[in-house]
Amino acid sequence: MKIKKNDNIIVIAGKDKGKTGKVSRVFPAQNKVLVIGINVHKKNQRAKKAGEKGQIIEQAFPINVSNVMLAVDGKRTRVGSKMIGDRKVRIAKKTGKEI
């Protein structure tokens, strides 16, 4: 997976197309990423104590990594890799910048 935690991304497909955000968590086994403010659903939460009311909360759910692209300088780009010395680094295909 070429998207990592704390990367800035742009959603390229789905109901949130065009929105940007920061990756807060990555799920490589499911091929999904969690982005705050993207793919938000309303969820009913039960009362935790007697006499307390339940509530409706908004929660961000994971989005498939194929529906997001890395954003470098506000523009979306593909991700490649390059060997610099003895270490492998990610680069932006559009600009050639190191990520």
For 22-69, write each residue's pLDDT tens digit. 999 999 999 999 999 999 999 999 998 888 999 999 999 999 999 999
In the chain, how many domains are there? 1
Of 58, 96, 76, 60, whose CA–CA distance to 7 is shortest? Answer: 76
Residue 28 lies in a domain: yes
Contact 79, 95 (CB under 8 A): no
Res 99 pLDDT > 90: no
Residue 89 lies in a domain: no
Cβ contacts of residue 45 below 8 Å, gap of 6+? 54, 55, 56, 57
Res 76 pLDDT > 90: yes
Residue 1 lies in a domain: no
Q: How many CA atoms lie within 13 A of 5 on its CB side?
A: 5
| Per-residue three-class SS string for 73-84 | CCEEECEEEEEE
C-alpha–C-alpha distance, residues 80 and 93, integer Å:
6
Domain of residue 58, residue span: 8-74
C-alpha–C-alpha distance, residues 62 and 68, integer Å:
11
Residue 43 lies in a domain: yes
Q: Give the pLDDT of residue 43.
A: 94
Residue 42 maps to which CATH number? 2.30.30.30
Q: Give the pLDDT of residue 90.
A: 94
Residue 65 lies in a domain: yes
pTM, rounded to two decimals: 0.82
